[in-house]
Amino acid sequence: MLRKKKEISDNQDTLENERKILKFLEHNEIDSVPKSVKYDSKQSINIISFVGKEEVTVNNLELQELTKWTQNLAEIHKLTFKEYKEFCRQENFSFEKPKKPDKKLESIEKDFEEELQKTKTMRHVFNITWCLKRAEKTEDKGKRQRYLEFAKKQKVEEK
């Protein structure tokens, strides 16, 4: 499979990065990923091997295959940045330190937290409304009391 260069920033080449990571995974005997067969920085190409028979989707995975993929991912995630850094040093590969998340990521996290809180509040309001409607419709006094008690237990935080 032939891969062509893509720039993701002024000084970071995805193709070069891909090659280094694939070499690192190969060095650590991770067989579930492609191998970098030929890399040419001047022509900006990386030829990689193909893994598997067809594109894998969750819909066409049997439980045994899913277990295998999960184990493969676990093996990859056991590897540390410290190991990668040492590998790059041994291979004379340059590498950039991981970049810290920018303010956009912090903003996304804050927005997510706010939306999550709204969803929780909406769920409590729905539960209260549902219980009050059920209590109103039922003729069973015991059920009515349980619905009303459940509605009272729902906490809706105001901001």
Cβ burial 37-75 (10 Å sphere, 16+ → b, else e) = eebeeeeeebebeeeeeeeeeeeeeeeeeeeeeeeeeee
Residue 36 lies in a domain: yes
End-to-end CA distance of the chain: 55
Domain finish residue from 44, 61, 91: 91
By the 8 A CB rule, do 38 and 19 touch? no
Per DSSP, the residues of 52-99 read: SSS---GGG--HHHHHHHHHHHHHHHH--HHHHHHHHHHHT---PPPP
Do 66 and 117 share a domain, yes or no? no
Note if the pTM is more than 0.85.
no
State the CB neighbour count (10 A cutoff) for residue 114: 11
Q: What is the pLDDT along the chain (159 residues), one digit of tens a residue?
A: 566 665 444 444 677 888 888 899 999 998 888 888 888 888 878 888 876 666 666 666 677 777 887 888 888 888 888 898 899 899 988 876 665 555 566 666 777 777 777 777 777 788 888 888 888 898 999 998 988 888 888 766 554
Pair (68, 112) in one structural domain: no
In this predicted model, what pLDDT tens digit does every residue of 146-156 receive, in sequence order? 888 888 887 66
* Residue 29 covered by a domain: yes
